Amino acid sequence: ERVQAAEKTYTIAMDTTFPPFEFADKNNKRVGIDIDLIRAIAKAEGFKVQLKATSFNGAVQELQANQVDGVMAGMSITPERKKVFAFSDPYYQSGVVMAVAKKGHITKLSQLRGKRVAVKTGTASADYANSSKKKYGFKTVTFDDSNNVYQDVISGNSAACFEDKPVMQYAIATGLGLKLGNMKMAMANDYGIAVSKSNPELVKKINAGLKKVRKSGEYTKIVEKYLGNGS
């Protein structure tokens, strides 16, 4: 008689407010592309996932401290992060854009001199802001959550924010009082799932599962569920 090994459970940390990748719906249920995708991958590969919502920066730090097995949070694969973590194959294309108040007169980088720009702690957008603030003469203010970043611009405390393109587009399309600024997308990157370098087995499983859910059409179904057919 063959006995099946118990399914292994991996804890995956995520961001709190990062729609359409992870967010709380009307019923306060946590939903999003990342959540559906990691569950589909786990199902395809026969492992279980325990999801843990925290701040993006908190998730990254928890992985670094080996308190979780992975981070899936619309996390950009960057050369610096690759020095610290192992990454799955890419699963979504992104990059940094600028957003400004819907009714304001500020639309471009050259208008930010002497102003405040809001970004989220530890993100690619924060890196972009820090690398361009000298050139454009703005100051940065950081928040742990994307929603607080947007609200700082809506309230007029900050003149602009930087955020991932698909996330900003989704927020604007679903009624947030911001609009895209006049800036070319910067720091083009791919999202990947980060795992400890000491866990190549998990990276392998995730990549195998990702291949399966792409092939089965499930990946496309998940993305279309949140973004519609036009995505």
Site residues, ligand GLN (CB under 6 A): 15, 18, 56, 73-76, 94, 120, 123-124, 164
Residues whose CB falls within 8 Å of the CB of residue 172, separated by 6 or more in sequence, listed in order: 99, 178, 179, 180
Biggest CA–CA distance in the chain, Å, is 73
Q: How many CA atoms lie within 13 A of 169 on its CB side?
A: 13
Nearer to ligand GLN, 161 or 202 (CB): 161
- Cβ-based nearer residue to ligand GLN, 10 or 162: 162
Nearest CA among 22, 17, 60 for reference residue 150: 17
Least separation in angstroms between residue 154's CB and ligand GLN is 18
33-45 and 218-227 are packed helices; what angle lies between their axes, rounded to 10 degrees? Answer: 160
Q: How far is the CB of 100 from ligand GLN (least distance, A)?
A: 19
Residue with smaller CB distance to ligand GLN, 44 or 176: 176
Closer residue to ligand GLN in complex, CB, 120/205: 120
CA distance 146 to 119: 8
204: Cα within 13 Å, side-chain hemisphere: 4
**What CA–CA distances, in Å, run from 41 to 6, 55, 183, 189, 208?**
17, 23, 35, 22, 8
Query: How near is the Cβ of 30 to ligand GLN at its closest, in Å?
Result: 14
Helix (H, G, I), strand (E, B) or coil at 138: coil
- The smaller minimum CB distance to ligand GLN, of residues 20 and 74, is found at 74
Tokens representing 130 are: 């820090």
Q: How far is the CB of 6 from ligand GLN (least distance, A)?
A: 32
Q: What's the closest the beta carbon of residue 87 comes to ligand GLN, in angstroms?
A: 11
**Residue 40 or residue 124: which is nearer to ligand GLN going by CB?**
124
Task: Report, in Å, the least distance between residue 40 CB and ligand GLN.
Answer: 20
Which residue, 123 or 158, has its beta carbon nearer to ligand GLN? 123
Q: What angle do CA 138, 144, 150 make, to 5 degrees?
A: 60
Shortest distance, CB of residue 71 to ligand GLN, whole angstroms? Answer: 9
For residues 189 and 97, give the distance between their C-alpha atoms in angstroms, rounded to a whole number.
Answer: 12
